Every structure is written in structure tokens, then in C-alpha cells.
Structure 1
């Protein structure tokens, strides 16, 4: 005898169950249609890393993050940057990086536009859905420089001039006479040395070290490697803090027990190195290191040394020692990382630290300019009987701008200073004479200062009729500042422009 089938429970056929089954069937059909037809929503730009930011010469690439994988060619062909910024693209999943060939010109606003781009998986010939039109905005930093005034109440005071906004600010009080200064990378502060104006007996060795605020607040882009992807929305929603007022002075180092001489500030702004001499024991001299939140301490690296420069990675010091140049870590009592016996001074580093311009003093009383790489290779690119005063790499690291002198024949020793550009590619392959391009012949004077703009589009230099080392500034009343536009064409003739402010020792803000 066969068992009687069990009837389904009555509650299975309740109205609520039938409604649920009906909804599930409808949703299944809809899901199936979506799977067959694909996602028809328009792709969009989810994040633009430079949106509403102020970019500087260190900011070399922006990133666009898309909501879907994109067709690379359609994005690259439809991307527009106004004004134009030549560069190249690279991809990582839904993110596209655009790397600039050269820094964005300072003092300029830019728009980034993208439309008519398609995603990767929409089939050609079907009703392709274009990206939602996107417009992004960013701007470069203001074009600004600082200098030491020479006229009237401005004499000996640190002055900031913003060329973009045509604004001038006197940063330091009248009781301080500024001797030298170095801007911080973020341009919010300037490190400077000064003496008291009231004490006329004070000299260069009596200077103290201070910082002063510039009043500039840079809303810089975040580096993608420094934050997690999930933090992007939060980071981009954070509003920049209000600009600090300018002229706020803070003393960094006194001169009670030690005389303070040459100094430098690291590119990351966390380290100051100062050459100091004990007032009680002249044999006690050498570089001291000052870190944020810590007391100054000597490096004590067994050999004091002379001229120095902090490396671009902010971790080491290139310092002249004995018959060569030592690279030492910025740690007390550390042994040198390297020693370059044939070089006397490092003039400058390239921004990425891969190359350095170094000076060699030859036995025949000539001087040679060498290009030295971080792989240990070196090449003489210029030799002169005159002086090699300073040199700076342009942002593309293809040109070295130099302040040089020619030795004038005659019974008395005289030098003729001039500004020149060295084409590094030509210098490495054909020699320095063909690579050297003189630009401006300068008056016969001492202590000319030259500074290259961070975007590589201008040089600024000074001319003075008096002694540039005078602490009271009175003898510098005829000091003038000059601007030399740069086009990148080394054979083009350019003329310097006199700036309408008296001063000396100009330096561009980064």
C-alpha cells in the first residue's frame, strides 16, 4: 500500500507568500535584463587630486580616479588642460596619472576638462554612454621673492614681494638687521640671521637665528602614497587653515656661547644646520643640528669642515672636509657615508638628488665645474681661470644656470662677472665650451646674488654700488634688483628688466 502524499502546509499559500514570490520573479527578470544589457549609467570622475589646490615645482603629477574602468585612448584624446601643460599619462586600474614635462608656471589658474570619453567595456557600435562632463580647477603658487631692503626705513629689513598680487610686505622689525635668509619649502616661513641695529659694534659673528612668517598658506596637493584610498574623500573635504599673519618672529638660536655663521634648512623643513664657533675655545667649531622640538646639538663628526649643503632627501649633509667633500648623515657622531677627494664645494643638487654641481680647485690655479651623479660618475663640464660663484639646476635638470667670472688681463686682479646657461646634454657629449651660453654681462662688483625661479622661467639678481656685507645697510642705497626672463631657448637674446624696488640678496620662494 503506497503512502499518501503529504499536502503542503496551508500557510505556504497565504497572500503574503504569493506577493513575495511575485516580487522575486520580477526582480529576477530585471536582474537578468541588466546582466544581458550591461550597466548603462554614465561613467564619471570620482576624484581629482589637484582640485582647488595650489601646486608648486615639487608637484609633478595629478591623478584622475574614475567610477569605472575607462578606454585609455578616449580619455587621453579628450583630456584638455587650459592653459596647456604638456605631459604624459600612465594608468593603474581606474586611476590615470598625468605627469607634467615641466612645472606649472607660477601665478596661473588652470582648468582640467574631460568629456566624450567612454568606458572600456562598452561595445563599439552600440549606444555608447559617454562620461559625465568633468571640469576641475587648480592653480599654481604665487610668484614671489624675498630680499633685503636698502632704502630708508627698509634698510636691512627682510621684505617679501608677491609679483602675482603686486603686494609688498616688510617682514622683520626695524631693530633687526638681516644678514642672510633661507625660505622654507612651504613658503610659510623664512629662516634668517640678524644682528641688533642698536649695537653698532656687532658684526657678522654676533648674529642670531630667527624665523618669520610670510602670511602665505599653501594648500598643497596630498601625495597619494602618503594616504589611504579610503581617506581621499575626507582629505579633499578638509578646508585649508586660515593664512597666518606675516611678520611673526620666533628666535631659533642665540649667540651667547657660540658664534653662528653659515646655515641651511632642509627641504622637508624639519632640520636646520648651523656652523658654530665657541666663544671660549676657537678650536671648538663645526656644524650643529636643530630639529623641531629638540635642543641644538653638535654633529661631532670628528672633522669640523667648511662649506656645506643639506641633500635633497633631508637626511645627509655635503660638507667640505680636508682635501675633499664628505657626505655625512644628519646624526650626531655618525661616520661619513662617502668621501669625494677631488672636489672642494658642492654648489647645488638637482631636485631629485640624482646629480650635483661640484667645484674643483685645480693645481694650475684654474677652477672646474663638474657634474656628479649619485652613481659615482663625474664629468667636467666647464673650466675657467676666473671664478665659479654659484650654479642652479633648472626644474627639468637639462640646464645649469651659473654665475661666473672671467679674469681680466692686467697688472691688477680684476674679474668680470656674467650670467650663463650650460646645456647639460651637450656638455656631457661634446664638452663645456660648446655647451656654455653667456646671457648677461654684469658690472664689475663683489657679492652678486643670483636666484632661479622654482618654475624655471626667470632669474633674479642684484647689483650694488656699495659693500654688500655692511650690517647697517646704509652703504647699499644704490642696490637694485633685476629680473631676467627665461624661455628655455639658450640661443635667444634676452634682456634683464629693472625691478622698481631697491634691495639686494633676492631669493625666490619655492
Structure 2
């Protein structure tokens, strides 16, 4: 019997196999569509996995293999140690922004289980997510300071808080005057004079390596010092390092040309060049590293890093900028009033200028906490000594709530000339230097007798100041933090980023 041409193609073996395969595949697809996808949802990517996260890391992203039931994810996301934050979603991606930076010196674990996809409730077939465990760590807390006693005097010292390791970074023939820390923790920019016979007008700039390795430990490698800027033709005064570590600004005065004074810019791997701008006073880089805030005339100018460039902005009411918030949207400034008082102002990028406090004493410093909700300040009271008919300034550390402008004193300090303080990058503590009176039994043994006598008599301008660690991240805001006096003497304490 001869097949009709219509069915002749069925007679070929390959054709029969192909038709059978298509039929089987169609049945399998139909079964999957009828039963549904029974594979478990998964975390496909965690952007902080295995990373070392510092305070500059604002948020992480979790990416899932399918749209998720957002409430089930948010309820079952756990951190150890705890890390409170805000959550936002975009399709299969979840962004988590911590309310405060993760605490330094910690290993964090993030767990997610018992979460479901978006269609679990509709289908009635809940398949829990494959349990996910992620991990990340934070840098070890380090700080640096200029020593003021013994072999450390005038030298730059690095200290590992957790390991209690100390390393002197500069040689004894250099007296360090000030320093700035690079964001990668690998180097420190410092100004110094030679200890033998040089004056402050002979300051030169150097860079020294810290010896911190990729695992955040101090290596045995000796510090390496590299000269950056000499002082043969110019006197070098205040300097600053940009937040990204790529630019250095220095105030310089020519030794040959009378009156030539202004800012010089040193870009990465380039020769110094003058900005040829109007001379000014105190200055600092803006958080984006692209401009500088400098006191000029009766205000503060924001200048680009270009020669003879006009100001980007000008704040005519203020004398100087004390500090910028990390976001770059807020600044703390001083206004010098006609009645000889001083006002501390909060200025933002929306043009709002808010007076936070007005005092008769001095405003010596201010620094935002990482969340930019609190401004920590170093202020002074003016006290009169009736017996001697003299006025004396008594410093204290205060915390100002930026919403309510409520000021709270958190630490009273003895009268002294040089105090510096620095808020930790994770917002957990303040580091400062202060003369410690011999009335404090816990530290009286550490203070030389001549220093103790000078402190008791009020002649403490030459007293070596001791470093103090003041915890500030406490749930009991109605209680004053208890300072921890550290067994080291020095000035200009600064946390590493």
C-alpha cells in the first residue's frame, strides 16, 4: 500500500523522533505550568559579602532570583551584632542603609531565612527561601597622635586600640607640628621641623607609611618617609588633605617676594602650583574634594581648585567653617557678633542658616556625628577670678541636637590652652587630649609631680596632656558618658578613617 503524499514524512525515523520529542516537551511544559515553579527563592548576590566595610560605605544591596514578599524578607533579616537600618526596594533588589555606621573592629553576620516570593500567598504554595548567611567586617580602630613625653615627644605615634599596639612613625630628629591621615590608612601627611634649631617658619611637609596591611594589622615593616614640600623659598603654614586623598592645600608665604601669600595646590604626582587667589585665613576642603572653604574678608568663600577662579559661593555672615557633615549638605560655622559674643550656626545647601547656640566664651571646635543628627562641640565658659581680677576660660565638650538645638554638656575640662578632639568614624567615641588633675585617683600615678603641682596652681599651659576616650553612643542619653583616661600623653589625636 502506498502512503498518501500528505503523510509520507511520517515514514522517516528522524521525523518520528523529532515529533516525539516535541510532544514530550509540550507535556512537560504543561505539567510545569499546571504545578507551578517549586524551586526555592534564593539570594543571588550580597554586595558586602566578604568585604571590609568602613564608615564611607553607606548601604548594601541584596539581589534575589525572583520578586520577593517584601514583608517576609524585612521581618526575617537578622544581623549579629545588631545593625539597625532602613530598607528600600527596586524589583528583585533590596537596598539596606544602616542608620549608623557599623561598629569598627567587629565581624558581622547577616542571616535570611523563612522568607517567601511575592506569589506565595496567591498560589498557596509557600516555599521558603534557601537560608542565606552573609558576612562582612569593619576596620580595626586606630588613632594617631603627636607624643609629648619621653621618646615619643614631638613624634608621630600610631595606636591599635584592640591589640593595644603602639608604633612611633617618625624619627627623633623631626618635630611633628600637625598631620592628616589618608583615607586608605596607608599613609599620613605631616608637617615637621628639624628638632635641632629650626623655627616654626621652617616647616616642611612629608608623607610616612603606617605599616597597616590588608588584613588591618601592623606589620613589622619600618615606616618609610618621603619629603613632599620644602621651605627654602616659601614658609609653609596651615595645610589640609582632601577627603579623597588626592590633593593637598598649603598656605605659603614667599621668602623673596614681599606680600606674596596664598594657597598652593599639590595634586597627586604633580608639582605644587599657586592658586593666586585672594589671601585668607582658616580653610578646609569641602567633602567632595573639589573645592575649599576659606575665610576671606567678612565671610567664608567657597573656591574651586583652579588658579584665580572666582568663588562658587560666599557666606558673608560667618568667620570660619568648623566642619562639614559627611554628606556635604551641612556645615558648622561661627558668627562673631558685635556684642563680642559668638554664635554657632548650622548652614545647609538649601540656604537655611540656623543658630544653635550663642555664648560669651570661645567656640574652639565642632564636628558632626556620622548620622549628622548631633554636633559635638568644644566650647568655653568665661569665669572671673575676683581675687586676681582676671578672666579665665573653662572648656567643656557639648552635644547639640540639630533638630531641637538643645545643648547638653557631656564633659567638663580643666583650664588649659591646647585641646583637640575627634569623633570616631563609627560614631562610638570621642578622642581628646586634656590635662588630668591629680584629684583623679585613677590617673594620679601617671602624672609627674611637677605637672600635678602646675595643674593645681592653675599654671597648666605647659602640662603634658593625656589622651582621653569618651564613649558617646549610649542608649541612656540622660546619663553622662564616663571618660577613660588612656596611659599616653600627646596632642592632636585623630582617628584613622
Q: TM-score, normalised by structure 1?
A: 0.87
* Residues 365, 414 of structure 1: alpha-carbon distance in 2 compared, 3 angstrom cutoff: same
Q: What is residue 416 of structure 1 aligned with on the other side?
A: 394
1:35 aligned residue (13, 33, 36): 33
Shift of 1:205: 1.7
Alpha-carbon contact 1:477-1:502 (below 8 Å) kept: no
Deviation at 1:75, TM superposition (A): 0.8
> Match for 2:244 among 268, 281, 302?
268
Q: Out of 138, 141, 145, which is 2:139 matched to?
A: 141
| Rounded Cα–Cα distance in structure 1 between residues aligned with 2:121 and 2:376 | 53
> C-alpha distance in 2, partners of 1:157/1:422?
34
Question: C-alpha separation between the residues in 1 aligned to 2:167 and 2:139?
Answer: 17
**Partner residue of 1:284 out of 238, 242, 260:** 260
Q: Per-residue deviation at 1:246? A: 6.1
Partners of 1:412 and 1:355 in 2: how far apart?
A: 38
Aligned to 1:369: 344
Instruction: Give the whole-Å Cα distance in 2 for the aligned partners of 1:326 and 1:63.
Output: 38
Match of 1:487 among 454, 473, 477: 473
Q: Which moved further from structure 2: 496-505 or 306-315?
A: 496-505
Q: C-alpha distance in 2, partners of 1:363/1:184?
A: 39
* Shift in alpha-carbon separation, 1:218–1:404, aligned structure 2, 3 A: farther
Match of 1:204 among 200, 205, 208: 200
How far apart in 1 are the matches of 2:417 and 2:158?
A: 24
Shift of 1:127: 3.2
- Matching residue of 1:452: 423
Q: Distance in 2 between matches of 1:103 and 1:420?
A: 22
Determine the C-alpha separation between the residues in 1 that align with 2:123 and 2:65.
22
Aligned to 1:440: 411
Size of the aligned set, in residue pairs, is: 469
Comparing 118-127 and 92-101, the one that deviates more:
118-127
CA–CA distance in 1 between the matches of 2:397 and 2:188?
26
Structure 1 pair 461–164 and aligned structure 2 pair: CA distance change class (3 A): same
> Which residue, 160, 163, 168 being the options, matches 1:162?
160
1:165 deviates by 2.6
Cα contact 1:54–1:218 (8 A) shared by 2: no
Change (3 A) 1:120 1:176: same
Question: 1:88-129 CA deviation, whole Å, 9 max, x = no partner?
Answer: 111011110111111111111111000111111234463322
Structure-2 change in CA distance of 1:270 and 1:61 (3 Å): same
Note the 1:289-438 alignment, pairs <5 A. Answer: 289-301=265-277, 303-410=278-385, 411-427=389-405, 435-438=406-409
Alignment-derived partner of residue 15 in structure 1: 13
Moved more, 346-355 or 32-41: 32-41
Indicate the residue corresponding to 1:223 in structure 2: none
Of residues 405-414 and 90-99 in structure 1, the stretch that sits farther from structure 2 once superposed is 405-414
Question: How many angstroms does 1:58 deviate by?
Answer: 1.8
User: Separation in 1 of the partners of 2:315 and 2:259?
Assistant: 25
In the alignment, what sits opposite 1:432? none
Q: What pairs up with 1:108-187 in 2 under 5 angstroms?
A: 108-124=106-122, 126-187=124-185
Q: 1:268 to 1:246 in 2, by over 3 A?
A: farther
Contact 1:141 1:218 in 2 (8 A): no
Higher RCO (C-alpha under 8 Å, 6+ residues apart): 1
What SS does the aligned partner of 1:25 have? helix
Change (3 A) 1:246 1:213: farther
Aligned-residue offset at 1:9? 8.7
Q: Does 2:227 match 1:257? A: no
Give the whole-Å Cα distance in 2 for the aligned partners of 1:246 and 1:291: 26
Tell me how far 1:476 sits from its aligned partner.
7.0
Q: CA deviation at 1:399?
A: 1.1
DSSP 3-state at the match of 1:41: coil
Deviates more, 1:207-216 or 1:260-269: 207-216
What secondary structure, in the 3-state scheme, does the structure 2 residue paired with 1:54 have? coil
Partner of 1:100: 98
**For residue 439 of structure 2, what is the aligned residue in structure 1?**
none
What's the offset of the Cα at 1:459? Answer: 0.9
The answer to whether 1:509 aligns with 2:485 is no
- CA distance, structure 1, for counterparts of residue 7 and residue 411 of structure 2: 101
How far the C-alpha of 1:10 sits from its partner, in A, is: 6.2
Once the two structures are overlaid, the 10-residue window that deviates more, 164-173 or 5-14, is 5-14
Deviation at 1:479, TM superposition (A): 3.1
**Matches of 1:379 and 1:217 in 2, distance apart?**
44
- SS for the counterpart of 2:340 is coil
Which of 487, 491, 496 is matched with 1:500 structurally? 487
Instruction: Compute the displacement of 1:401 (Å).
Output: 0.7
TM-aligned CA deviation for residue 5 of structure 1? 9.2
CA RMSD of aligned residues (A): 2.4
